[in-house]
């Protein structure tokens, strides 16, 4: 999956593009709109927590760091004469426990921070534009960009993010 970014001038244009994407069989859950507070969104698919905040990148970092620290702690436990089964369990559970704890702690931090990938759009959004993020299969990115370009020259195509995580 790739995430396409479009800056749109108003709610009406956004609504028309959402309708066209739905007719082109893009699932509603894969369309995310981010707008300034107090923008009348009505039935538009608003960006969720994972799009608005740094939740997903923070979880990814927490898993990596926590898993590494837990693995090191498990390896340190091997230095004690516990037997081969207990030592293997200490390494495994240290890594898994560290990854889980790291993900949980970093998720708490990440959910309170704005999405760092969207910093370049902050000024446009505060100026009244709407940001549309659409998650599409890799092989169809050009097709959906062309659809928007053909029918809505007022829309600004802002590129794509190379990969979208499978969660949340």
Asked whether residue 65 falls in the same domain as residue 105, the answer is: yes
β-sheet with 31-34: strand ranges across:
31-34, 130-136, 2-8, 156-161
Asked whether residue 46 falls in the same domain as residue 60, the answer is: no
Positive/negative CA dihedral, 46, 47, 53, 59: positive
For the chain, give the mean pLDDT: 88
Q: Which residues span the domain enclosing 154?
A: 2-52+117-161
> Rounded distance, CA 147 to CA 145, Å?
5
Asked whether residue 122 falls in the same domain as residue 45, the answer is: yes
Asked whether residue 105 falls in the same domain as residue 122, the answer is: no
Asked whether residue 47 falls in the same domain as residue 70, the answer is: no
pLDDT in tens, 40-74: 988 899 998 888 888 888 898 999 999 999 888 88
Q: Is residue 30 part of a domain?
A: yes
Number of domains in the chain: 2
pLDDT number for residue 164:
64
Asked whether residue 42 falls in the same domain as residue 66, the answer is: no
pLDDT in tens, 108-134: 998 888 888 888 999 999 999 999 999
Asked whether residue 47 falls in the same domain as residue 130, the answer is: yes
Q: Is residue 151 part of a domain?
A: yes
Between 154 and 81, the more confident residue is: 154
Confirm whether pTM is higher than 0.75: yes
pLDDT number for residue 116:
82
Q: Is residue 147 part of a domain?
A: yes
CATH number (domain holding residue 142): 3.30.70
Mean per-residue pLDDT for 134-156? 91
Q: Is residue 136 part of a domain?
A: yes
Asked whether residue 102 falls in the same domain as residue 147, the answer is: no
Asked whether residue 61 falls in the same domain as residue 31, the answer is: no
């Amino acid at each position: 999956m790739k995430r396409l970014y479009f800056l749109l001038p108003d709610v009406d244009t956004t609504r028309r593009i959402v309708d066209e994407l739905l007719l082109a069989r893009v699932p509603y859950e894969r369309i995310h709109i981010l707008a300034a507070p107090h923008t009348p969104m009505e039935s538009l698919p608003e960006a969720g927590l994972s799009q608005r905040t740094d939740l997903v990148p923070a979880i990814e970092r927490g898993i990596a760091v926590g898993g590494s620290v837990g693995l090191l702690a498990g390896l340190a436990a091997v230095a004690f004469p516990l037997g081969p089964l207990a030592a293997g369990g200490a390494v495994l559970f240290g890594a898994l426990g560290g990854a889980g704890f790291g993900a949980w702690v970093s998720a708490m931090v990440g959910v309170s921070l704005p999405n760092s990938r969207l910093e370049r759009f902050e000024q446009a959004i505060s100026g009244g534009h709407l940001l549309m993020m659409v998650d599409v299969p890799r092989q169809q990115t050009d097709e959906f960009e062309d659809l928007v370009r053909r029918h809505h020259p007022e829309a600004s195509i802002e590129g794509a993010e190379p990969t979208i995580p499978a969660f949340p």
